[in-house]
Chain A
Amino acid sequence: MFGGGLGESIKMREELMKEACYLSLRAHTSAGKPYLSKKIRGSSETVFSFPGPWTVDGWFSGKPFGQRKIELNLFPSLRSIGNDEKAAVNEAFYGRFEAILKTTAFANEVKKAVTEKKQIIFTGHSSGGPIAILATLWREKWDIYFIHFVTRYDIVPRLMLAPLSSIERELQPVLHFFNPKSQFFGLESITTAPDASTFFMNVMRNVSAVTSHAACHLMGSTNSLLETVTSFIDLSPYRPFGTFVFCTGNGKLVVVKNPDAVLQLLFYSSQLTSEADIRDVACRCLKEHLGYENELQESLKMQNVAYLDDHLNETPLSSSGSVQGELATINTALNDLGLSTRGRLCLRAAGELQKQKQRNQDKIDFNKKEIAEKLESIRKYKTDRDVRKVGYYDAFKLQNDPEDFQANVKRLEVVGMWDEIIEMLKRYALPDEFEGREEWIKLGTEFRRLMEPLDIANYYRHQKNDDTGPYLIKARPKRYRFTQRWREHAKRIAQGSSSESCFWATVEELRNSDKPFEELKDTIMDLERDIDRWAQHEEIGKDVFLDESTFAKWWKKLPSQHKKGSCLGKYMSN
Chain B
Amino acid sequence: MVAAFLASTPLLSESWSLCCRATATQTFAVSRAGDVSYVAFSGVQAVDVLDPGCGNLVAVDGGVFPGLLRHGEAEEKAEEPVMVHSGMLHLFHSMFKYTDFESQMFEIMKESKSVVFTGHSIGGTIASLSTLWLLSYLQSISSPLSVLCITFGSPLLSNESLSKSILQERWGGHFWHVVAKHDIVPRLLLAPLSPLTPQLHALLQYWHLSMTSPQLPVMGQDFYSLAQRAALRQDIVVQLPDEEKNRLFLFVLACVEASAKAGRSGGSSFFWPFGNYVFCTNEGAVCVDDGVAVVKLMHLMLATGNASSSIEDHLKYEDYVGKVSMQFLKRRGFVEGEIFESSYEAGVTLALQSSEIASHEPVSGPARDCLRTAIRMGRAPNLNSANLAIALSKITPLRAQIEWYKASCDQSDDQMGYYDTFKLRGASKRDAKVNMNRIKLAQFWDGLIRMLETNQLPHDFLKREKWVNASQFYKLLVEPLDIADYYRLRGMHRDKGHYLTHGRERRYEIFDRWWRNRKVGEEENTKRNRYASLTQDSCFWARVEEAREWIENVRSESDTRKLAMLWENIDKFEQYARKIVERKEVSKDVLAENSSYSLWLKELSELKSQLQQFPPRFPRFFEGEIVP
Could you show 7 A-B contacts with beta carbons less than 8 Å apart? A223-B378, A228-B148, A232-B116, A348-B343, A405-B404, A419-B393, A461-B533
Cβ of B342 to closest chain A Cβ, rounded Å: 9
Instruction: Write the A377-419 contact mask toward B (1 if CB under 8 angstroms, else 0).
Output: 0000000000000000000000100000100110011011101
A424 interfacial contact with B, CB 8 Å: yes
Contact A318 B337 (CB under 8 A): yes
Q: Which of B350, B400, B458 contacts A345 (CB 8 A)?
A: B350
* Interface residues of B, dominant DSSP: mixed
Contact B346 A272 (CB under 8 A): no
B471 interfacial contact with A, CB 8 Å: no
Contact B336 A319 (CB under 8 A): yes
Instruction: Write the B373-415 contact mask toward A (1 if CB under 8 angstroms, else 0).
Output: 0000011111100100110111011001101100100000000
Instruction: Write the B452-465 contact mask toward A (1 if CB under 8 angstroms, else 0).
Output: 00010011100000
Q: Which of B172, B381, B523 contacts A469 (CB 8 A)?
A: B523
B contacts, CB < 8 Å to A: 1-2, 4-6, 8-11, 36, 114, 116, 146, 148, 170, 172-176, 276, 287, 289, 325-326, 328-340, 343, 346-347, 349-350, 378-383, 386, 389-390, 392-394, 396-397, 400-401, 403-404, 407, 455, 458-460, 469, 521, 523-524, 526, 528-530, 532-534, 536
Q: Return chain B residues, CB-CB under 8 Å to A419.
A: 389-390, 393
Interface hits, A306-352 → B, CB 8 Å = 317-322, 338, 340-343, 345, 348-349, 352
Cβ of A241 to closest chain B Cβ, rounded Å: 23
Q: A204-B328, A463-B530 are in contact. Are A340 and B334 (CB under 8 A)?
A: yes
Cβ of A397 to closest chain B Cβ, rounded Å: 12
Cβ of B584 to closest chain A Cβ, rounded Å: 8
The CA of A227 and the CA of B114, in the complex, are separated in Å by 13
Q: Return chain A residues, CB-CB under 8 Å to B173.
A: 223-228
The CA of A204 and the CA of B276, in the complex, are separated in Å by 26
Interface hits, A209-234 → B, CB 8 Å = 209, 212-213, 215-216, 219-229, 231-233
Cβ of A428 to closest chain B Cβ, rounded Å: 11
Size bin of chain A's contact surface = 35 or more
Q: Return chain B residues, CB-CB under 8 Å to A345.
A: 343, 346-347, 350
A143 interfacial contact with B, CB 8 Å: no
Contact B350 A342 (CB under 8 A): yes
Q: A208-B328, A275-B329 are in contact. Are A420 and B339 (CB under 8 A)?
A: no
Q: A209-B9, A271-B330, A466-B526 are in contact. Are A224 and B533 (CB under 8 A)?
A: no
Q: How many A-B residue pairs have CB under 8 A?
A: 210
The CA of A136 and the CA of B334, in the complex, are separated in Å by 40
* Interface residues of A, dominant DSSP: helix
Contact B332 A342 (CB under 8 A): yes
A273 interfacial contact with B, CB 8 Å: yes
Contact B389 A420 (CB under 8 A): yes
The CA of A224 and the CA of B288, in the complex, are separated in Å by 10
Contact B532 A463 (CB under 8 A): yes
For B354, give the chain A residue with the smallest CB separation: A342
For B288, give the chain A residue with the smallest CB separation: A223
Cβ of A566 to closest chain B Cβ, rounded Å: 27
Q: Return chain A residues, CB-CB under 8 Å to B378.
A: 220-223
Q: A220-B379, A317-B343 are in contact. Are A408 and B400 (CB under 8 A)?
A: yes
Q: Return chain B residues, CB-CB under 8 Å to A223.
A: 2, 173, 276, 287, 289, 378
A365 interfacial contact with B, CB 8 Å: no
The CA of A475 and the CA of B469, in the complex, are separated in Å by 10
The CA of A293 and the CA of B346, in the complex, are separated in Å by 39
A278 interfacial contact with B, CB 8 Å: yes
Q: Return chain B residues, CB-CB under 8 Å to A573.
A: none
Please provide the 9 A-B residue pairs with the shortest distance between their CB atoms, ordered closest to farther.
A416-B393, A224-B173, A208-B328, A208-B8, A212-B5, A342-B333, A222-B381, A462-B533, A271-B331
Contact A417 B393 (CB under 8 A): yes
Contact A220 B329 (CB under 8 A): no
Contact A340 B332 (CB under 8 A): yes
Q: Return chain A residues, CB-CB under 8 Å to B350.
A: 341-342, 345
Cβ of A116 to closest chain B Cβ, rounded Å: 51
Q: A224-B276, A272-B330, A399-B407 are in contact. Are A216 and B390 (CB under 8 A)?
A: no
A85 interfacial contact with B, CB 8 Å: no
Cβ of B456 to closest chain A Cβ, rounded Å: 9
